[in-house]
Structures are given as structure tokens and as C-alpha cells.
Amino acid sequence: MRARYSLPYAAYIVVFGLAPFLATFAYMGVGLRSALTLLTAIRPYLGLVFYNTFLLAVGQALGATLIGLIEAIIVDSLSERLRTPLSLLLMLPYTVPFTSAALMWVISLYGEGYGWFTYFLHLRNDPLYQPSTAMLTITMVSVWASAPFSFLMIYSALRSIPREVKENALMDGLGLSRYYGEVAIPMASKAIVISFLLQFALGLGNFDIPYVMTMGGPGFTTTNLAILVYNAIFEMGSFPAGALIAAVLSALALAPALLLLAVNEGPEAPAAERKASHA
């Protein structure tokens, strides 16, 4: 049964991930010498670029999954009458394109001194142009834009738990906190892990938000691998270097994709099922 769902997923990775890169190198050539020439020129900043890439990916994955989990628990614990309007409200950030969301936050954060963050927080300098706060600001906006996806996935898992499990748990005196901590969250653990892996993979290739907000600046402070691919091709005029960096980024993104495949093929949480049957 699991193979029926895993094979199309693996085929998707090969057809839309691996094949285009191989075709690109076959059509344009590798150009390794040209690529290494450019990479040598920016070698002092490559460590920072990789650090920014993983920092944004891990921050987005952790933040979005944690916020999505908290939101899902809150909505699931409410009455049926309140669940739908609150769910729609929490999904609103996901209806805004990431580029538009980034532009809105650029204006709101500082807006040449007229943003509402400037007014309420009494900001004297734009946080996007301060090396100490630029990456943190981008990560926060990425979490804000991505959390609804995690909320929807985890909330769907919580709602798939039979109603009798929750009713029996409450009748046995577990209480809501113990029900979610000991029963519901373990039963939804696969959805939580999948949410984290998806957010991590998306965070590795996050281009829209950091580029629109800072264009990778100041300096290389917020430059990640996705922005470096763009800069290598369109700013520095080296397609081989851009293709090589993109191949590295694709290889990094392949790791969470394979982990996601392993999670999908893994068994359901038996401990959670025993807890649910006991409740």
C-alpha cells in the first residue's frame, strides 16, 4: 500500500528535480573552470552563504511547525462554531503571494521611517539594513508566511483522530492538556515531522522573501544559496557557476526529500495507538 504512494513521489523527484539539472548541464556544458573562477572570487563569503541558507531553513521549519502546532491545538480545542472562522483567519497569510508579503513587511517594518513598526517600536534604523537584525527579520517574515501551511497539515491530522478517543480521554479525567500531550500530539507526530521536513526543504530554496526584502544585503549578510544562484547568473554573468551552485542546492534539498519518503513509508506511532485505545 505504501509503495503505491512512494513510487509516484520518487518519480516526481526524478522527473522534476534530477532530470532538469542533468538536462541543463548536458545542454550548456559543465564549465567547471569558469564556475570555480567565480567561486574563488567570492570564497571568503561562501561559509556565510551556507550558514545563512541553513539558518533560514532551520528557523523557518522550526518556527512554522511550532506555531502551526500551537494554532492547530487551539483551534481543535474550540467549539465547532468557532473553528471555521478562526481557521480562515489563520490561513490568511498563506493567501498572500510571498513577494507581496515581503513588500508589505518591508513597508511595515520601517518604510523610510513611516512604517508602523517604526512608530510602535521607536525604531531609529531599518532592521533590514542592520547586519545584526537583517537575517532574523527575514526569518520571522518567512515563518509568518509559512506557518499557515503547517497549521493546515497538523490541524488535519488532529481532526482525523476519532472523536471517541477525545471523549473517552476527557471522561477518564485526562484533561485537555494531557490529552494533547499524551494522545493527540503522538498520534499526529507523522504530520508534524512531515511539516518540518517540507518547511526545511522550502526554506533551503527560499528566494522571494530574502531577495525582495534585502537583495541579499547588506553585503552578504542575508545572501543564501538561492540568491547566490541568481547573482551568479544575472549579476556576475556566469551561467556555469549558477548551475553548479543550483546543483549543490538541489543536492542539499534532496536530503529532506528522502527523509520525507522514509517517514511516509514508516509505521504509524504504535505507542499513540495504544494510548488512544486505553483512553
Q: Average pLDDT of 14-30?
A: 70
- Give the whole-number percent of the chain exceeding pLDDT 90: 45
54, three cell numbers: 541553513
Task: Indicate if the pLDDT at residue 278 is higher than 60.
Answer: no
Task: Indicate if the pLDDT at residue 109 is higher than 60.
Answer: yes
Q: What is the DSSP letter of 268?
A: P
Domain boundaries, given as residue ranges, for the chain = 2-278
Question: Cα separation of 173 and 190, whole Å?
Answer: 26
pTM of the model: 0.85
Cell 487551539: give the residue.
74
How far CA 23 is from CA of 89, 118, 172, in Å, comes to 43, 48, 60
Question: Of 4-18, 82-96, 181-195, 216-230, which gets the smallest average pLDDT?
Answer: 4-18
Mind listing the pLDDT tens digit for each residue in 111-155? 666 777 777 777 777 888 888 889 999 999 999 999 999 999 999
Closest CA to 150 of 63, 237, 21, 54: 63
Closest CA to 146 of 74, 218, 197: 197
Q: Tell me, which fold does domain 2-278 have in CATH?
A: MetI-like fold (1.10.3720)
Question: Cα separation of 12 and 96, whole Å?
Answer: 27
